[in-house]
Amino acid sequence: MAKKFTVLVCDDQSTIRSSLREALSDDGHRVVEAEDGAAGRTAIRNEDPDLVLLDLKLPDTTGIEVLRELRNEGNPVSVILMTAYGDLATAVEAMKLGAYDFVQKPYSLAEMKAKVSAALKVRERIKVNDRRSPHAHAGSVHYLPMLEATPGMADVVEKLGKVGRSRAGQEVSVLIEAESGCGKELVARAIHEVSHPGAPFMEINCAAVPDTLLESELFGHEKGAFTDAKSAKEGLFELAGQGTIFLDEIGEMGITLQSRLLRVIENRRFRRVGGKADKEVKARIVAATNRRLQQAIAEGLFRNDLYYRLQVIEIDIPALRERPDDIPVLTRRFVETYNEELGLDCKVPSDKVCEVLQTYPWPGNVRELKNMIRRIMILEEPREMLPSHLPDHVVRGKNPRGSNQLDIERIGRELMPLAEVEKLHLLHTLDATNNNKSKAARILGISRQTLREKLKSYDAQERAEQA
């Protein structure tokens, strides 16, 4: 990296501070040290660092609290949170508050230097953008390039640009509809950064949290509101402030909680669970779903009035199979990303590789493509990606887990082993839920892990048959 930056290392262990100072100084960066939260806050004010390496456990506070204060103050400095505790919930909270990354101790210096390099490159693009236009939003540089570079997303980019420029403000709700893996969160974050960079972006997956807990997560609760409420807690609507609250998989929210959310959107006010005072909603609500809500409305699973409140602005992200011209762009971008992340020097894929990728239907959409590229680069570490590196089913242009109506109708026409009946029904359910494994597992009455194991066995079976 040609340009050098100021990096603040905030950690109470002097050995960690000195090792990072030495490693990053070797790359030409200026390194500032702080041993606790108070010293870290002072250094941020006085030194204006480009990146903060922030320990989760500090003697006088937590890294999460320092990060929350930075975002509440509108400070967009990039933050990589460090912890020895491997707390997934804390990692999720850190990302919600806008942390660039999360690193578990012990880490290798090579890993940390790669993450620092990636974070600083993003920071430099933000600064270049700010110099070019005083009205440019820093975050848009982070999330928009991939969207803007893919021709199949032109309509989506145009819409989110209009949302960002709208004078209607935060009261305009946005509904994003797309299959799983299409990049709903990416679009939501782009809307957020175009509209109000630096403000909190709070997200929650409505399908992953039971309604009894989801209500508390969204609206917060007062002490004693229920058995385990030993202290008051702010909900995401409070934490979002004047930023964005992103409700992913909104179609999985229960009817009762939908009613309360409807009132919140209509009145722009809410009340904590067990609370008596109303609080104002200042955040923009962005919702997303991988199911067609009109069908859910017809089935009595989603409120018609809530649907129309949410879809003031409606963004429909096309599936990857509907925009094959985007595949070469995305593939080359992912290779560049993982070169940087993994410290590799793989050439961008040739036209021949991209032509093969364009014949495959990508049922898992962009997420499936991204994971495949990452898996190849980790396991193969190729100097150049070749068709031979691609999975067999991708080369054949066939989804190994695909199912169609003719397959499922065989159950009624033919006598077959019970295992084959189970396989056809499982694949049909997965297909009907747009490859949503959590939802398919619930419908089938099995665990997500059991579903994964069965899918692996089907893949192994097909590879053996092909051989």
Tens of pLDDT along 51-79?
999 998 899 999 888 988 887 676 778 89
Contact in structure between 208 and 250 (CB atoms under 8 Å): no
Strand partners, 174: 286, 313
Closest CA to 27 of 125, 104, 112, 142: 112
pLDDT tens per residue across span 337-370: 888 888 888 988 888 999 999 999 898 899 899 9
What pLDDT does 102 receive? 78
pLDDT tens digits for 112-165? 888 888 788 766 655 443 433 333 333 333 556 567 667 888 888 888 877 866
- Beta strands, E only, 136-264: 174-177, 201-205, 244-248
Cβ neighbors of 397 (< 8 A, separation 6 or more) are: 359, 360, 361
Model confidence at 195: pLDDT above 70 = yes
Nearest to 57 by CA among 105, 23, 111: 105
Please say if the pLDDT value at position 464 is more than 80. Answer: no
pLDDT for the residue 405: 46
Asked if 29 and 4 count as a contact pair (C-beta separation under 8 A), the reply is: yes
Q: SS3 of 391, please?
A: coil
Which residue did the predictor score with more confidence, 6 or 98? Answer: 6
pLDDT value, residue 142: 52
Q: Indicate the pTM of the whole model.
A: 0.58
Residue 467: per-residue pLDDT = 46
Average pLDDT of the residues in 205-226:
86
What is the pLDDT at residue 132?
Answer: 35
CB atoms within 10 A of CB 109: 13
Q: DSSP label at 151?
A: G
Contact 54, 71 (CB under 8 A): no
- Answer whether residue 111 shows pLDDT above 70: yes
Hey, which residues does 175 pair with through a beta bridge? 287, 314
Question: pLDDT digit string (tens) for 270-280?
Answer: 999 888 889 99
Averaged pLDDT of the chain: 82
Report pLDDT digits (tens) over 380-428: 888 998 989 998 888 887 655 554 444 555 565 667 788 888 888 888 8
Winning range, highest mean pLDDT, from 148-157, 373-382, 434-443: 373-382
SS3 6: strand
Give the residue-averaged pLDDT of 419-445: 81
Q: What percent of the chain has pLDDT over 70?
A: 83
Q: Which of 381, 289, 288 minimizes the C-alpha distance to 339?
A: 381
CA pair distance 391, 278, nearest whole angstrom: 55
Which of 283, 161, 188, 194 minimizes the C-alpha distance to 234? Answer: 283
Cis bond leading into 106, ω under 30°? yes
> 44-48, 122-126, 260-264: which has the highest mean pLDDT?
260-264
Confidence (pLDDT) at 406: 43
Q: Give 245's pLDDT tier (boundaries 50, 70, 90).
A: very high
Q: What one-character DSSP code corresponds to residue 322?
A: G
Amino acid sitting at position 2: A
435 has a pLDDT exceeding 90: no
> Does the pLDDT at position 302 exceed 90?
yes
**425 C-beta neighbours (distance < 10 Å), count:** 15
Q: Does 212 or 222 have the greater pLDDT score?
A: 222
Domains and CATH numbers, the chain: 6-132 (3.40.50.2300), 138-316 (3.40.50.300), 320-395 (1.10.8.60), 405-466 (1.10.10.60)
Question: Are 241 and 97 spatial neighbours (Cβ–Cβ below 8 Å)?
Answer: no
More reliable by pLDDT, 372 or 150: 372
Quick one: pLDDT band at residue 465, thresholds 50, 70, 90? low
Longest dimension (CA), the chain: 76
| Structure confidence at residue 125 (pLDDT) | 54
CA–CA distance, 138 with 128 (Å, rounded to integer): 9
Instruction: Look at residue 269 and tell me whether its pLDDT is greater than 80.
Output: yes
Question: Which residues, at least 6 apart from 322, have a Cβ–Cβ distance to it below 8 Å?
Answer: 152
Half-sphere exposure of 153 (CA within 13 A, CB side): 25
Specify the higher pLDDT residue, 88 or 421: 421
Looking at per-residue confidence, does 75 or 222 come out higher?
Answer: 222
Q: Which amino acid is at 313?
A: I
Burial 227-244 (b: 16+ CB within 10 A, else e): eebeeebebbbbbbbebb
Torsional class of 323: left (φ above 0), alpha (ψ -120 to 50), beta (otherwise): beta
Gyration radius of the chain's alpha carbons: 24
Surface-to-core class of residue 449, CB atoms within 10 Å of its CB (0-12 exposed, 13-18 middle, 19+ buried): exposed
Per-residue pLDDT, averaged over 230-258, amounts to 90
Strand segments (E) across 94-192:
101-104, 174-177
Name the DSSP letter for residue 435.
T
- Residue 84 pLDDT > 80, yes or no? no
Q: Is the pLDDT of residue 27 over 50?
A: yes
